Amino acid sequence: MASVSLGARALFQFVASRRPGTRDAPALQQWLDDGSLQIFGGARFKQQLFHRVQRVDRKTPYPFKLNVEHFETRRVNFTFRYVPDEHIVRYADLPAPAAEDVRGYMAALARHSPYFAAELRTRTGG
């Protein structure tokens, strides 16, 4: 996996979770500056640990002006993962409870994306 960090400096951590709702002390942490690229992989980082941004530095203002209502951020982190084609499920093929869980996200995406609008119509019929 690769993680690209843009904006204010941030503390990036890898943590384990032994019980639901709890987190252990960080197994590894580092500060990521604007434009940082971090590449990680293997069973330890992909299956045994979770990654998170624990803290964002407030010393340098990095307000991103995004066209999202009631949303302001000082940094953006993108994590790129490879997903095999056989693990990708179309919205139309999701079980009803899973489709309902993400319906709101699909509707929000559909307002600005013909692709997601078409996917949403596969379940709503309209």
The Cα 51–Cα 83 span in angstroms is: 18
The confidence score (pLDDT) of residue 95 equals 92
Checking if the pLDDT of 6 tops 90, the result is no
For the chain, which residues make up each domain, given as ranges? 2-82, 88-124
11-32 residue pLDDT tens: 999 998 777 666 678 999 999 8
The pTM (predicted TM-score) of the whole model is 0.56
pLDDT in tens, 87-124: 889 999 999 999 999 999 999 999 999 999 999 999 87
pLDDT band at 61 (very low <50, low <70, confident <90, very high): low
Question: Which residues, including other chains, have CB under 8 Å from residue 21's CB and lie 6 or more apart?
Answer: none
Question: pLDDT at position 53, please?
Answer: 86
Report the candidate in 49, 38, 50 with the shortest Cα–Cα distance to residue 10: 38
% of the chain beyond a pLDDT of 70: 92
Tokens of 10: 């941030």
